[in-house]
Amino acid sequence: MTGKLIHSQVIFSTKFLIHIVSLFLLCDLYYQAVNDRLGADPVEVVLHFTGIGAFNLLLLSLTISPLAQYFKLPLLLKFRRLIGLYSFVYVLCHLLSFLAFEVQFDWHLFINEVIERPYITIGMLAILIMFSLAITSIPLIKREMGRNWQKLHNSVYLASLLVGLHFYWSVKSEIIEPSMYIGISLTLLYCRKKKIIRWFK
């Protein structure tokens, strides 16, 4: 067997595993929630799980390039797009669950909440950014965009900060966990300090 074949097999099976785990967790979550087996208030659990899940995946996708650089493992970069896309899938579930199960299609309430509540407003902003990143990760569109693609995709850093703020702002007093998430986001930004300094020059 050639090295190249093993290489592509590793990529294939890792991607397969990412699909299985991400989808299994989501399907299982909704299956349990629909059958009222997710604690007293399945809506709260679904919102928390999809929100935290999306944030975990987003941060994981941002950890890949520093890791690949540090360990000289360019192979890792092959999984960045897929993990980023699953982060978007989770965030979409988060938004749709809020609409369908929290405000229960009360559009008036939904729009009011998005406009009047800063933590929901910035959450929506983050979703819009992530939506534009997901759409433009289609290879054809990516090619068309040329250098603009990278510019647009740099906004992922902004999204990670907005998501952290959204989390921090949504809790009543238990700020330690969201603070840690913000800390991780800032650390990941710090790994790219040269790149960021270049933008502002």
Partner 1 sequence: MIKNISRKSSSWQLPEHQVTDEGVYLKRRSFLKQLGFVGTSALLSSSAQADWFSKNELTPFVTKPLSFKNSFKSEDVLTPEAKVISHNNFYEFGTSKNDPIENAQQFNVNPWQLNVSGEVGKELTLDYDDLYKLFPLEERIYRMRCVEAWSMVIPWIGFPLAQLIKKAQPNSKAKYVAFETLYDPKQMPGQSSRRIGGGVKYPYVEGLRLDEAMNPLTLMSVGLYGKSLPPQNGAPIRLVVPWKYGFKSIKSIVSIKLVEKMPPTTWNILAPREYGFYANVNPQVDHPRWSQASERRITSGGLFARNRIETMPFNGYEEQVAHLYKNMDLRKNY
Residue 72 gets the label, from left (phi > 0), alpha (psi -120 to 50) or beta, of left
Residues 84-113 as x/- pattern, contact with partner 1 by CB under 8 A: -----------------xxxx-x--x--xx
Say if CB 12 and CB 76 are below 8 A apart.
no
The one-letter amino acid at 93: C
Identify which of 138, 6, 21 has the alpha carbon closest to the alpha carbon of residue 75. 6
Is residue 164 within 8 Å of residue 178, measured between CB atoms? yes
Q: Which of 119, 131, 157, 168 binds partner 1 (CB under 8 A)?
A: 119
14, 15, 56, 122: which one binds partner 1 (CB under 8 A): 56
Do the Cβ atoms of 64 and 76 come closer than 8 Å? yes
By CB under 8 A, name the one of 72, 172, 198, 201 that touches partner 1: 172
* One of 32, 121, 137, 155 touching partner 1 (CB under 8 A): 32
Residues 177-196 that bind partner 1 (CB under 8 A): 177, 180-181
Binding site for partner 1 (CB under 8 A): 25, 30, 32-44, 46, 48-49, 52-53, 56, 101-104, 106, 109, 112-113, 116-119, 169-170, 172-177, 180-181
